[in-house]
Amino acid sequence: MGESMNIGVIGAGRIGMVHAESLAHRGPGARLAAIADVDPDTARTAAERFGIPRAVSDHRAMLEDPAIAAVSICSSTDTHARLIIEAAESGKHIFCEKPIAHDLGEIDRALAAVDAAGVKLQIGFNRRFDANFQRVRQAIASGEIGEPSLLHIISRDPAPPPISYIRVSGGMFLDMIIHDFDMARFLIGAEVAEVYAVAGVRVDPAIGEAGDVDTAIITLKFENGVLGVIDNSRRAAYGYDQRVEVLGSLGSASVGNNYPNAASISDAQSVRRDLPLNFFMDRYAESYTAELRAFVDAVRNDTPVPVSGRDGRIPVVMGLAATLSHREGRPVALSEIT
Amino acid sequence: MGESMNIGVIGAGRIGMVHAESLAHRGPGARLAAIADVDPDTARTAAERFGIPRAVSDHRAMLEDPAIAAVSICSSTDTHARLIIEAAESGKHIFCEKPIAHDLGEIDRALAAVDAAGVKLQIGFNRRFDANFQRVRQAIASGEIGEPSLLHIISRDPAPPPISYIRVSGGMFLDMIIHDFDMARFLIGAEVAEVYAVAGVRVDPAIGEAGDVDTAIITLKFENGVLGVIDNSRRAAYGYDQRVEVLGSLGSASVGNNYPNAASISDAQSVRRDLPLNFFMDRYAESYTAELRAFVDAVRNDTPVPVSGRDGRIPVVMGLAATLSHREGRPVALSEIT
Amino acid sequence: MGESMNIGVIGAGRIGMVHAESLAHRGPGARLAAIADVDPDTARTAAERFGIPRAVSDHRAMLEDPAIAAVSICSSTDTHARLIIEAAESGKHIFCEKPIAHDLGEIDRALAAVDAAGVKLQIGFNRRFDANFQRVRQAIASGEIGEPSLLHIISRDPAPPPISYIRVSGGMFLDMIIHDFDMARFLIGAEVAEVYAVAGVRVDPAIGEAGDVDTAIITLKFENGVLGVIDNSRRAAYGYDQRVEVLGSLGSASVGNNYPNAASISDAQSVRRDLPLNFFMDRYAESYTAELRAFVDAVRNDTPVPVSGRDGRIPVVMGLAATLSHREGRPVALSEIT
Amino acid sequence: MGESMNIGVIGAGRIGMVHAESLAHRGPGARLAAIADVDPDTARTAAERFGIPRAVSDHRAMLEDPAIAAVSICSSTDTHARLIIEAAESGKHIFCEKPIAHDLGEIDRALAAVDAAGVKLQIGFNRRFDANFQRVRQAIASGEIGEPSLLHIISRDPAPPPISYIRVSGGMFLDMIIHDFDMARFLIGAEVAEVYAVAGVRVDPAIGEAGDVDTAIITLKFENGVLGVIDNSRRAAYGYDQRVEVLGSLGSASVGNNYPNAASISDAQSVRRDLPLNFFMDRYAESYTAELRAFVDAVRNDTPVPVSGRDGRIPVVMGLAATLSHREGRPVALSEIT
C-alpha cells in the first residue's frame, strides 16, 4: 500500500473532530478522504473545516468507496460493534474508539468478523501513546527498575459528566476505568487474574440516584504475582489527574501530571504553580495523533497493530468483573466473566 | 506537677536509645532519671553515654522509685502488656512503644489496668508527630481540601529485616503495616469498617518460607464512606518511602519523601537528586522527640494524651483483620475481630 | 484582507523549514503559497514536502507576485536588511528572523524602508510566544508579584555551533545573547540603560582562537531601576537550559525547563528524570507557530505587530554595548552606541 | 586535649544563644563551662536556661580561667578584633562570629595576635556546614560536574532589619553579602580577582536615606577564569531564599530552598506548597552546631580549622571592593584594596 492511503472518519462528534484534525494537520501519513455523520450538516461543516473532499450522512457510502482503505469509528459506543462488522465485511481496515461494546457477545461477533475479513482492527486506547506512560513502560520493559511488584494508577476527572451521560455510560467501571484497566495491562505486560472493587458516591448524590458510583478503588492481582491498585474519582477540583507508579525490584518509575507551563510563583502565601492541563483533549492531544500514525503505519506496512481487538475485549471483561465485585462485595476472578 | 518530672526508660535497645537521646539532649521537658535493661552492662553503658543518674537491670527497681513519675516502655513487644500493667499498678504514667501486644485479650487487660490506676498511657505512633503528616492532617481538619473521599498511603522499607526477626514479628500486617493503619485513622479522623488485603512474596522467597509476605495492598472502607488504600513493600531499592495522599471535595493534599539535601545534579545522563533519608531513625528523628514532648506535656498539665490506649488497640484489630482477609481471600469487617 | 492571505518563505534552510511546517500543518491562518531558495533543488524539495504551489530560486519572482501578501525572511543574516528593503518596496508585509543586521546603519535603512512603504514588519523573537515566559510576563504585568526589582536569565546551549559558524556569527553577544536581551526587555517592560559584560573561553579554546567567547555574565541596569543579570554558556552537558526568574515586591516568578516527559525514576543511586528538551527546535516548536499566527493576525486585522522593528533594533544595540563592555572592561551605557 | 574541653561563650545575644544551645544540647563534643555578657542579668538568665556553671559580666574573668580551653566570640562586631587579641594573649582557642572587623588594619592586628599566640581561630561562616551547600561543593570537588565555569548565588532575606541596625551595619556588602562572598570562595575553591557591583534601593526608601542599598547584583571574576554572580535582596516576600548553582563542563549542581514540610496542596486555584523555612535561625540550625563541632574537633585533634582567619579577612576585602565598585560605577580589582 502506497503513499495515497485514504481514511474516512465515521462520526463527527468530539472525538471524531480530534481524529479529523490529526489526519488533516498533524500528518500521521494518511489522507482524510471522507467524513460521515448521521447529521448531514455536521458532516458538511466538518468537511469544510478540514478541507475533506467528501461528506456523507450514511457511512455505507464511505464503506462502498473503493478508494477508502480504512475507517476510524468515532460514533457512539452502541454502534461500534455493528460498524466494525460492516467495515470488515467491506474490506476496510478499522480504527475503533473504546470500548468496542459493553456486551461480550457483541464484541466477540465483531472480532470474528474482523478475523474472517482479514482486516486490521486497532482500538483507541490512546494513553498507550502518551510520552509519560511510554516512559514508565520503557522503565519496566528495559529492566531499568527490575521485576515489577506493585502498580498504582491514579485517574481522576476534573468534573463528572452530565447525569444524562452517566445514565447511558455503562457505569464508571466500563466507561471511565476501562482506560485504567488497559493501562494496567500495558504497563505490566501481563494479564490480571482477579479484581476487587470498592466504590461509592462521594462527588454527587445524583450520580448515585442514576445507579452509578463516582469514587472507586480497584485492587488487581496479576497472573504473574504483581499487585496493583487503581484509584478513581469523577472529580478532582484541581483538574485532570493522570499518574502511575510502578515499584520494581531495582527501583520505581512514576509519572506526574503535565502542566501548561513550567512557571513557579512564590509570594507571601505559598510557592505554587498553575493547575495541570485540564482534561483529556489537552492532556492527550499528542497521543491521539500518535495512535493514528501507528495505525496507518501498521496498515501500510502490514504489521500488527499496537492495540488489538483482544486488547479491546479484556478491559471490558475487567470492567464487568469490577462491577460484579462491587455489587457482591467480594473479589471476582476474571475467569468468572464469560 | 512541676519542673522536675522524672522519667525512666525501660529497655536500652535501639528505640530505647532514641528515647534516651531525646530526653537527654532534645529537651522535651522532662529529666531522664533512670534506665533499665535486663542486661546490666547495656543499662550501664547507656547511663554513661547520656549521663543518666541510675541504671538498673530489674525494671521493678524503677517502678518502686517514688521520684519517677513516668516510664517509657521500649522493651520487646511480648513484654509490653505485662509492663504496662506493672507500671500502672505502681502509679506510673506510661509511654509504650507500639504494638501493645498482638493478642487482643492481653491488650484489654493492659488497658483495664491503666483505667483502674487512673494513669496516663500514650502509644508510640510517632509518625503522627511528623511535620509532613501533620500538614496533611491539618489540610483535612481545617477544611482546606474539603470533605475527604480517597486516601492513599505508601509505606516501603529500604530492605527487609532479618528472617529471624520476620519469624517473631507477628507478620507484616501486625509488624509493619500497623503504623499505616494508625496513619489512616489519624489522617481521616474516622474509623475503618472493613479491610481487604492482597499480599504476596515479591522481595525474598525466604520471607515466604518463614510464613510471611513482603508486598501488600490493603483496601479500607471507612465508616464515613471514605475509601482508602495502603501499599507496602519490605524493600524499595531507593530507600525509605513514606508518602500519603488524600483527595477531598476541594482538592488534594500529598506528601513526598524527605531528603538529606535540596541539591539537584544535572549531567549528560539525567537530572537527579540524592536518595531520600534512608530509614526511620533519620526520617522520623524529630517526631520521636515530639511525641515524648507531647506525653510529658499531657502528664504535667493533666490533659489527654494525643495517642490513647484505644488508639493502640484498633490498629491491632485492623492488622488481625487484614491477616484474616489475606488468608481467606475476602473482605473482613473489623466487627468480626473481637 | 480576507481568508486567502498568501505567504511566501524566503530561505529553505533550517528555520525556513520550521516556518514552512507551521504554515503548512499547524494552521496559523495563512496559506504557504511559495518558497524561495537560491538553490533551486532545495526550494523544489521543500515545495514537494509541504505541498507548496510555487518554488523559485530568485526571491524577486515571489516579490513580484501580486497574490502574495507577505513574506517570511529566513535567509542568512547578511541578507536580512536588503530583503526587508526589497520586500517593503514591493508592498509586502514582512516577518524577518533575528537579527535584522549587525550594523545599526543597515538596520536603520531597513526600518526606514518599512516605514516609507507602510507595511508591517515583525521580528522573529519567538521566545516571547513561549508559554513559560508568557506566564512570567503575565505575573509581572498583572501585578501578581508586585514591582519587579531583580531579573535573572539563564540561557545555555547544549553544545557550541561549528567553529566555521562562530567565525561569521557576529560574536556570542550578537548571535546568541541577543535573544536574552530581547527577553529582558519583554519581561520587565522597560528599557536597559547600561550593560556590563564579563566573558571568557571555558568551553572550547578553538572558540577563543576564532576571536569569540563561550561563557558570559551580563549585568543590566534598567532605566526604571530594575537590576538584571544574564548568564550564558555555549555548552550545558545536560542540554538546552532556558530559565528566567524575576523578584518583585510581592514575590517571585520563575520558570524551569521543559522535559520530554513527566516521569521520575528512583533506583539505588538517585531519584532522577530524563534530560530537558534538547534544543530550540523541540523546546520552542509551539512558539514558532504562535509568532507566525500573531503576525498573520496583525496583518489581517491591521493591528500592530507584537515584535516591532524597533524591538529588533534595540537588542542589537545591547549586543554591541556588551561587546564593547567586554572589550574595554567597563560598564557601557546604551546611549554610547549610535 | 581530652574529653573535658571547656568552652566559654562571650555575648549572650541572639547568636550567643544559638551557640549556647548547640553546646548544651546538641553535643558537639565540648562542655559549655561559662557565659559572659556585659549585662549581668542576661548572662545569669542564659546560665540558668542552659545549666551553665559560670556566668560573668566581664569576659576577662573567663579568659583568666585556666579550665577554659576556648571561647566563642558572639558579641557585637566592633568588639571582635579586640576580643580575639585578648583571647589569643590568654592562650585560648577562638571561634569568632563574622565579620572579624570592617577595617583591614584591625583584622590584620587580630590575625597577627593569633599567629603569635599559636592558638586556633575559626570564623563563623556557618553556611559552609549546611548540607545543601556541602553537596554542591562535593559535586565540584569530586569532579562530578567537571571543571566549573559559572557560579550563581541567590541570597535574599525575608525582610530588612530595622533602620537603626542598617545605620551601624557597615552596609549591605559587608553585612549581608559577606556570607555570599565566602560561599563563592568555598564553592569554587579559588580566589576572586575582580568584582563589579550594581545596587539600588528597591525595598524601602528609608534604607536609601540611611545611606545603604537593599538590592544588588555583584559580578565576580575568579583568578581561575570562573565567572560568578551574586544577586541579593533585603526582602523576598516568600521568605528566606538561599540558593546556589554551579555550571561545570560535565553538568550543573544547584540547590533549592529548605521547607518546613514536603506537603503539596492542590485545589481549584493552584498546586502549592508552604513557604520555605523563614530565616537563618531555622534554615541554618544544624549548620551552627556542625561548625562548632568542627571547631572542637580541630582543637582537640590539633588539626587545621575549616574556616581560617584568612577566610575571615578575604570576604571583608571583597565587601570593601564591592562597596567601592558600586560607589564609582566600575569594576574593582581586589588588589586595589589593601
User: Worst-scoring range by mean pLDDT, A182-191, B296-305, C21-30?
Assistant: C21-30
Number of H helices and E strands in chain B, helices first, is 13, 15
Sign of CA dihedral C299, C301, C304, C305: negative
B52 near D CB under 8 A: no
Q: Closest-CA residue in chain B for D50?
A: B27
pLDDT of residue D2: 43
Among A152-166, C18-32, C175-189, the minimum mean pLDDT is found in C18-32
pLDDT tens digits, one per residue of C122-164: 999 999 999 999 999 999 999 999 999 999 999 999 999 999 9
What 3-state class would DSSP assign to D52?
coil
Best C144, C145, C147, C150 member to test D by mutation, with max D CBs in 10 Å, is C150
Percent of all residues in chain B with a pLDDT value above 70, rounded to a whole number: 98
CA distance A120 to A96: 11
Residues C254, A274: C-beta atoms closer than 8 Å: no
Question: What angle, rounded to 10 degrees, do the helices at D14-25 and D40-50 form?
Answer: 30
pLDDT at B1: 37
Using 50, 70 and 90 to split pLDDT, how confident is the model at C1?
Answer: very low
Q: Determine, for residues C265 and A250 on separate chains, whether the beta-carbon distance falls below 8 Å.
A: no
| Residue A323 contacts residue A55 (beta carbons within 8 Å) | no
On whether the CB atoms of residues A43 and A12 are closer than 8 A, the answer is: yes
Residue C288 sits at the vertex; the CA angle it makes with C283 and C292, to the nearest 5 degrees, is 165
Mean pLDDT rounded to a whole number for chain C: 95
What is the chain A residue with the closest CA to C267?
A251
* Residues B264, D255 contacting (CB under 8 angstroms): yes
Least CB–CB distance from A219: residue in B146, B198, B250: B198
Closest CA to B95 of B69, B75, B58, B123: B123
| Nearest Cα residue in chain D from A278 | D268
Provide the pLDDT for residue B31. 87
Name the minimum distance, in Å, from the CA of C284 to any CA of chain D: 22
DSSP C180-245: HHHHHHHHHTS-EEEEEEEEE--S-HHHHHTT--SEEEEEEEETTS-EEEEEEES--TT--EEEEE
Task: For residue B271, give the nearest of C238, C267, C269 by CB distance.
Answer: C238
B22 confidence band (pLDDT: 50, 70, 90): confident
Residue B280 backbone class (left: φ over 0; alpha: ψ -120 to 50; beta: rest)? alpha
Choosing among D249, D265, D283, D289, which should be mutated to test the B contact, i.e. which has the most B CBs within 10 A? Answer: D265
Q: Which of A236, A268, A273 sits opposite D270 (nearest CB)?
A: A273
Cβ-Cβ contacts under 8 Å, B266 against chain D: 251-254
* Mutant choice from D147, D149, D154 vs C, greatest count of C C-beta within 10 A: D149
The reported pLDDT for the residue numbered D23 is: 86
Question: Residue D278 burial (CB < 10 Å; 0-12/13-18/19+)?
Answer: middle
Please indicate whether, in this complex, the C-beta atoms of D275 and A276 are within 8 angstroms of each other: no
- Which residues 234-263 in chain C show a CB within 8 A of chain A? 250-258, 260-263
Q: What is the pLDDT of residues A243-261, one digit of tens each?
A: 999 999 999 999 999 999 9
Neighbours of D65 (CB within 10 A): 17
**Contacts of A167 by beta carbon, 8 Å cutoff, 6+ apart:** A210, A211
State whether residue B134 sits within 8 Å of chain D by CB: yes
C185, pLDDT greater than 70: yes
Which residues of chain A make contact with D236, given a CB cutoff of 8 A?
Answer: 266
ipTM > 0.90, yes or no: yes
pLDDT on residue D27:
65
Is C135 an 8 Å CB contact of chain A? yes
Share of chain C above pLDDT 90, in %: 90
Does pLDDT of B26 surpass 70? no
- Alpha-carbon distance of D198 to B213, in angstroms, equals 64
Least confidently predicted of A19-33, A166-180, D44-58: A19-33
**Residue A213 neighbours by CB under 8 Å, 6+ apart:** A171, A172, A199, A200, A201, A207, A326
- Comparing B96-100, C3-7, C217-221, the range with the smallest average pLDDT is C3-7
Each residue's pLDDT tens digit in chain D (338 positions)? 345 689 999 999 989 999 998 887 766 678 899 999 999 999 999 999 888 999 999 999 999 999 999 999 999 999 999 999 999 999 999 999 999 999 999 999 999 999 999 999 999 999 999 999 999 999 999 999 999 999 999 999 999 999 999 999 999 999 999 999 999 999 999 999 999 999 999 999 999 999 999 999 999 999 999 999 999 999 999 999 999 999 999 999 999 999 999 999 999 999 999 999 998 888 998 999 999 999 999 999 999 999 999 999 999 999 999 999 999 999 999 999 98
Q: What is the pLDDT of residue D75?
A: 95
Report the alpha-carbon distance of residue D297 to residue D29 in Å, rounded.
Answer: 8
Total CB pairs under 8 A between chain C and D = 111
Provide the shortest C-alpha distance from residue A273 to chain D (in Å).
5
Q: Is D255 close to B263, i.e. CB distance below 8 A?
A: yes
If you compute the radius of gyration of chain A from its CA atoms, what whole number of angstroms results?
Answer: 20
- Whether C99 has a pLDDT exceeding 80, the answer reads yes
Phi-psi region of D27 (alpha: psi -120 to 50; beta: other; left: phi over 0): left
Quick one: pLDDT at residue A4?
Answer: 61
Instruction: Provide the pLDDT confidence category of residue A74 given band limits of 50, 70 and 90.
Output: very high
Q: Distance between CA atoms of D108 and D98, rounded to whole angstroms?
A: 15
Closest residue in D to C234 (Cα–Cα) = D249
Q: For residue D216, which residues of chain C lie inside 8 Å, CB to CB?
A: 227
**Alpha-carbon span A145 to C272, nearest angstrom:** 12
The predicted pLDDT at position D1 comes to 37
- Cα C278 to Cα A33, B35, B268, C231: the distances in Å are 36, 61, 11, 18
Minimal Cβ distance to B272: which of C236, C268, C270: C270
Is D27 in the B-facing interface, judged by CB distances under 8 Å? yes
Residues of C in contact with B235 (CB under 8 A): none
Is residue A1 over pLDDT 60?
Answer: no
Query: Cell triple for residue A100?
Result: 468496542
Chain B residue whose CA is closest to A156 = B247
For residue D154, list chain A residues with Cβ-Cβ distance below 8 A: none
**C-alpha closest to that of C221 among D216, D53, D322:** D216
3-class secondary structure for A102-114? CCHHHHHHHHHHH
> For the residues A197-206, what does the mean pLDDT come to?
97
Q: Answer yes or no: is pLDDT of B314 > 80.
A: yes
In this predicted structure, the answer to whether residue B173 has a pLDDT above a threshold of 90 is: yes
CA distance B215 to A33: 53
Q: What is the model's pLDDT at position B27?
A: 65
Distance from CA of C286 to the nearest CA of A (A): 12
Test the A interface: residue of D265, D270, D274 with most A CBs within 10 Å: D270
Q: Within a 10 A sphere around the Cβ of B310, how many other Cβ atoms?
A: 11
Which of D124, D132, C253 lies closest to B265 in space, CA to CA? D132
What is the tens place of the pLDDT at every residue in B214-273? 999 999 999 999 999 999 999 999 999 999 999 999 999 999 999 999 999 999 999 999
* CA atoms of B105 and A275, how far apart (whole Å): 51
Find the CB nearest D258 among B145, B255, B262.
B262
Sign of the four-CA dihedral A111, A114, A119, A125: negative
Q: Is A124 helix (H, G, I), strand (E, B) or coil?
A: coil
Looking at chain D, which subunits does it touch, using at least 3 CB pairs closer than 8 Å as the criterion?
A: A, B, C
Planar angle of CA C279, C285, C286, nearest 5 degrees: 145
Determine contact: B264 vs chain C, CB below 8 A.
Answer: no
DSSP annotation string for A258-287: --S--EEEEESS-EEEPPPP-SHHHHTHHH
Measure in Å the smallest separation between the Cα of B236 and chain C Cα atoms. 8
